[in-house]
């Protein structure tokens, strides 16, 4: 019996020794808890060595079984890219450049206390051509109720649907409208946004075109995002009935002017003022007007362009005897110098000029802004979506 108790005592002492050793190893050496701890695992997206990476897609790195001690993505110059850490994932928060190399740097530390270096990188896509888009209405401008929003590109756009998906129009009051693609002009494609009806007066408008990184097809990509914040002004509409020999100006539903006028000579189709909704695009205190066909070269005052085919509202003392009684012009609307100045002072880009009473209709052949010559159904057919 005494021998049995002695054996049990030896076994118990040995067991205590094992536990104590294991506990000590856990505090200061490679004991059992340390051996069970996991090392940090790092995952990259895009993967190491990836090429043709879209510059607008977020680049991320995620650590499992550990935390980041330091993390960054740098360009070829060693400059860090802006990013944010959410949980165990770090992600870029700004677009990357085209045709550029990016490299991961930093370390992740696992539960085992071992630092794992971040390494590797990727290369973004290289466009065959970077295409620029320009908005026609700048920040802070006030425009008329018929103003289209226009984006002019400096090259042809093949994938119009992809571009159109990147475009937004936000308004302070509900406005129904749509994008429409017009024939290429000025060396590239162009897209207009037109409301179904004239803009509501005093509407605030924000245009967003997130074009950077968008594939236009054929290896072409968007050069930069563009935006604009502008406002629709008062609702000023010119009622120009050629048969009345008058030009009436309405503002916010009230008639504010009624001027004697002379329109294009009806007997010559080339001299007819075109019937339809014209849009004011620019104005000049002095404008040189020439025609080889009709042999004139004159400087006219207070000229407001209403179409890119040469039609203006302007002063013309030479036709003063016909203003209010007959149509003798070469297609423009002639007013007296005093009346032309009065109208000029009120005109805004985007004001509609509604010409009626002539045998020739305004059409796509007459200039760059013929948006309002189409019905709403016809306009919607110009959308790529």
Point out the domain boundary residue: 218, 233, 248: 233
181-223 pLDDT per residue, tens: 999 999 999 999 999 999 999 999 999 999 999 999 999 999 9
Average pLDDT over residues 328-340: 98
CA distance 211 to 217: 13
Cβ atoms 156, 113 nearer than 8 A: no
Q: Are residues 77 and 166 in the same domain?
A: no
Are 229 and 240 part of one and the same domain? no
Distance of CA 245 to the CA centre of its chain: 43
272 and 305 part of one domain: yes
Q: How far apart are CA 90 and CA 44, in angstroms?
A: 10
Once rounded to an integer, what is the mean pLDDT over residues 301-305? Answer: 98
At CA 167, angle to CA 165 and CA 173, rounded to 5? 120
Per-residue confidence band for 123, with pLDDT thresholds at 50, 70 and 90: very high
CATH number of the domain enclosing 323: 2.40.440.10
Q: Across all residues in the chain, what is the average pLDDT?
A: 92
Q: Is the pLDDT of residue 175 over 60?
A: yes
Mean pLDDT (whole number) for 283-306: 95
Q: Which domain holds residue 52?
A: 41-124
Residue 354 lies in a domain: yes
Place of tokens 């009346």: 339
The answer on 90 and 47 residing in a single domain is yes
For residue 37, the model assigns a pLDDT of 85
Judge whether residue 78 has pLDDT over 70: yes
Domain assignment present for 4: no
Percent of the chain with pLDDT over 70: 91
- Indicate if 114 and 222 belong to the same structural domain: no
The reply to whether 85 falls in a domain is yes
Fill in the DSSP letter of residue 350.
T
* 210 falls within a domain: yes
Query: What CATH number does the domain containing 91 carry?
Result: 2.60.40.3780
**Tokens representing residue 321 in the block:** 């005897």
**CB atoms < 10 A from the CB of 385, how many?**
9
Biggest alpha carbon–alpha carbon distance for the chain: 144
Active site residue 332: yes
Q: Nearest Cα to 316, choosing from 261, 380, 369, 370?
A: 261
pTM: 0.86
Cis amide bond preceding 46, omega within 30: yes
Do 159 and 95 sit in the same domain of this protein?
A: no
Residue 384 lies in a domain: no
Given the residues 192, 278, 330, 332, the one annotated as active site:
332
Q: Do the domain assignments include residue 377?
A: no
From 192, 278, 314, 330, active-site residue: 314
- Beta-sheet pairing, 149-153 with 188-195: antiparallel
Boundary-marking domain end, from 204, 233, 262: 233
- Domains of the chain: total: 3
Instruction: Please tell me whether residues 256 and 151 are part of one structural domain.
Output: no
Annotation says 314 is catalytic? yes
Q: Find the distance separating the first CA and the last CA of the chain, reported in whole Å.
A: 97
In a domain, 242, yes or no: yes
Same domain, 93 and 198: no
Q: In this structure, are residues 351 and 238 in contact, taking their beta carbons and an 8 Å threshold?
A: yes
CB 305 within 8 A of CB 327: no
Closest to 147 (Cα-Cα) out of 203, 225, 187: 203
Rounded to an integer, what distance in angstroms lies between the CA atom of residue 334 and that of residue 303? 10
């Amino acid at each position: 019996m005494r021998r049995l108790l002695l054996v049990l005592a030896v076994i118990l002492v040995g067991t205590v020794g094992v536990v104590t050793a294991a506990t000590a190893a856990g505090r200061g050496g490679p004991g059992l808890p340390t051996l069970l701890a996991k090392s940090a695992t790092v995952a990259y997206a895009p993967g190491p060595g990836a090429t043709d990476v879209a510059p607008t897609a977020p680049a991320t790195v995620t650590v499992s079984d550990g935390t980041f001690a330091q993390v960054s993505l740098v360009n070829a110059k060693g400059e860090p890219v802006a990013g944010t850490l959410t949980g165990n994932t770090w992600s870029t928060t700004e677009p990357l450049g085209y045709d550029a190399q990016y490299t991961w740097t930093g370390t992740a530390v696992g539960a085992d206390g071992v630092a794992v270096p971040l390494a590797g990188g990727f290369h973004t896509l290289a466009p065959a051509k970077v295409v620029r888009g320009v908005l026609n209405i700048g920040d802070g401008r006030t425009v008329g109720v018929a103003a289209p929003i226009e984006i002019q590109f400096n090259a042809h756009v093949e994938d119009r649907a992809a571009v159109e998906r990147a475009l937004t129009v936000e308004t302070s009051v509900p406005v129904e409208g749509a994008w429409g693609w017009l024939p290429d002009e000025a060396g590239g494609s162009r897209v207009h946004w037109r409301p179904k009806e004239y803009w509501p007066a005093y509407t605030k408008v924000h245009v967003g075109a997130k074009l950077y990184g968008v594939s236009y097809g054929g290896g072409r990509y968007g050069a930069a995002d563009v935006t604009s914040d502008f406002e629709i002004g008062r609702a000023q509409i010119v009622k120009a009935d050629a048969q009345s020999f008058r030009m009436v100006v309405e503002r916010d539903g009230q008639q504010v002017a009624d001027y004697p006028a002379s329109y294009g000579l009806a007997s010559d189709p080339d001299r007819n003022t075109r019937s339809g909704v014209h849009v004011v695009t620019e104005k000049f205190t002095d404008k040189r007007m020439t025609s080889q066909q009709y042999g004139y070269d004159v400087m006219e005052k207070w000229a407001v362009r209403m179409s890119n085919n040469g039609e203006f509202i302007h002063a013309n003392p030479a036709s003063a005897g016909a203003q209010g009684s007959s149509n003798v012009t070469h297609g423009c609307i002639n007013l007296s110098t005093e009346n032309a100045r009065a109208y000029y002072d009120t005109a805004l880009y985007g004001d509609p000029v509604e010409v009626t009473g002539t045998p020739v209709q305004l059409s796509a052949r007459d200039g760059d802004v013929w948006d309002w010559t189409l019905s709403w159904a016809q306009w919607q057919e110009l959308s790529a979506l």
